[in-house]
Amino acid sequence: MSTLPVYFLSHGGGPWPWMLDQYGGRYDALKASLEAIPVELGARPRAVLVVTAHWEAPEPRISSSAAPGMIYDYGGFPDYTYRIRYGAPGAPDVAARVQALLGAAGMVSHLDGERGFDHGTFSALAPMYPDAGVPIVQLSLKQGLDPAEHLAMGRALAPLRNEGVLIVGSGLSYHNLRQFGGAGAQASHVFDAWLRETMALPPAERSARLLAWEQAPAARQAHPREEHLLPLMVVVGAAEQDAGHVQYHEEAFMGALAVSSFRLGTAGTA
């Protein structure tokens, strides 16, 4: 089986795929970029492993239910968005494989048979696979949010790319909810430019810059807390020797913000 690329996705806000008629086209570019991924891959993956910004644990946890439920981890949205369903199956065998790979790298992790899909997962995957036909496993971040630990997690999981498992990091390249709009425009543009420049660098230099991401211009204005950036570290670790490409970029997301998604590796090889 050919080696799958990996993706870091800026997943947007809340349950946006179920609210497109209320957003007046503001999500059109993001939606199109997500819809393009299955076309790029050329064939459905065996499963998708989502490293989600919306789950943290003292040691990494892996969703292992065969039929995950839903977690409505947002507030202030219409009532119907707390009843939406994305009925993709889980993949207990893939969850066990993830745990084994982490264990082989000396990392303790835990299977979680209760964890449902959070919006970082279902809002990103619904435009990609609207029929919910591809099994999904979620992987948490590790508390402490150490970039080096998350790069190492990705390195451990790299064999999945040759086993038909698509590795996706779901976060946001800008995540400062107190300045989500015009107030955050300058910081988002400065940081996003640094991030796009970094992702285009040769592998060793790219990893070194990501490890020191707090030194980037406007870093803490863009990410007062870095949980929405850390999924990027995992996907970079899983494809550390591959070139990075901008998968999606917008200069005026939600009217003012610069946001990006990235692919590492060659698409169209599934």
Instruction: With respect to residue 269, please indicate whether it lies within any of the assigned structural domains.
Output: no
Instruction: With respect to residue 133, please indicate whether it lies within any of the assigned structural domains.
Output: yes
Instruction: With respect to residue 233, please indicate whether it lies within any of the assigned structural domains.
Output: yes
Instruction: With respect to residue 1, please indicate whether it lies within any of the assigned structural domains.
Output: no
Per-residue pLDDT of the chain (270 residues; tens, 9 = 90+): 589 999 999 999 899 999 999 988 899 999 999 999 999 999 999 999 999 999 999 999 999 999 999 999 999 999 999 999 999 999 999 999 999 999 999 999 999 999 999 999 999 999 999 999 999 999 999 999 999 999 999 999 999 999 999 999 999 999 987 777 778 899 999 999 999 999 999 999 999 999 999 999 999 999 999 999 999 999 999 999 999 999 999 998 888 999 999 999 988 743
| pTM over 0.85, yes/no | yes
Cα separation, 67 vs 100, in Å, equals 21
Range of the domain at 23: 6-264
Cα separation, 205 vs 209, in Å, equals 6
Instruction: With respect to residue 145, please indicate whether it lies within any of the assigned structural domains.
Output: yes
Instruction: With respect to residue 98, please indicate whether it lies within any of the assigned structural domains.
Output: yes
Instruction: With respect to residue 237, please indicate whether it lies within any of the assigned structural domains.
Output: yes
SS (H, E, C) 175-224: CCHHHCCHHHHHHHHHHHHHHHHHHCCCHHHHHHHHHCHHHCCCHHHHCC
Q: What is the number of domains present in the chain?
A: 1
Instruction: With respect to residue 21, please indicate whether it lies within any of the assigned structural domains.
Output: yes
List beta partners, residue 63: 112
